[in-house]
Structure 1
Amino acid sequence: MADEIIPKEALAYLKAKGIKPGFDHRDIWRQEHNAAFTVAKMLELDILADVQEALTVALEEGQTFQQFAESLKPYLVKRGWWGEQIMEDPLTKEQKTVQLGSDAPFKNHLPHQHAHRPCCWSVGAH
């Protein structure tokens, strides 16, 4: 089913990415995005890897964003990665109130919007 929706090159690109945690979206800079999957504020490597895997499966199965979000939310809630929380910014050591688990970060990573544009999954993109 995924072959009809998402080019296999785009899926291979996502699968080949490593993971890189970052507190702020600017922590992963420019070309680093070509090789690293990240979600802002997601500092736990195991959660980040699980989200990347869930995204890959969702794309392979042709899930909509809504289906993906609904299946991922219970996992994130269980892991304590949902809602408003206090986190320390690793760079400034400041305590900040942050929103975890909203739909916004995941929409930026879901390649449904970008998968048909080779510029977004070819080496050297961004």
Structure 2
Amino acid sequence: MGERWGLKRVSGYFLLDFPINEDGALFEPHGWNEDGMNVLGWEVANPYRAASERLDEAIGVLLKIEGAEKQLGRVYVMYGDMCAAAAIGGSMTVAENYYNKAIEVFEEIGDYDDLEVAVAKSVALGE
């Protein structure tokens, strides 16, 4: 499949596609904010990767970027019809709470494109 990158702004967040190799494994993902600073690394995706059997369908990451707190944003790993969360600088309990919230949002909306926006808005509002 080779590497592929996609980056766009979604409700104050950046959507970053994971590059995926032939085996469905993730290459090291990185993102850069508007100032060119690195804001996302392999250690962000790894906690959920270890718990997931379906990362071959990984689609993207929503990362909150807000001033000096850009390294502490919540990260969403989107794949297929599910959304799993890992938290930068947070516990797995925090990540699990965001995961459950994302699933609720998906079940309510039922549309992947709307899910991206809804998740971004819910995180921006601190819900």
Is this a same-fold pair by TM over 0.5? no
* Higher RCO, 1 vs 2 (CA within 8 Å, ≥6 residues apart): 1
TM-score using structure 1 length: 0.29
Q: Which has the higher strand share?
A: 2
Structure whose CA Rg is larger: 1
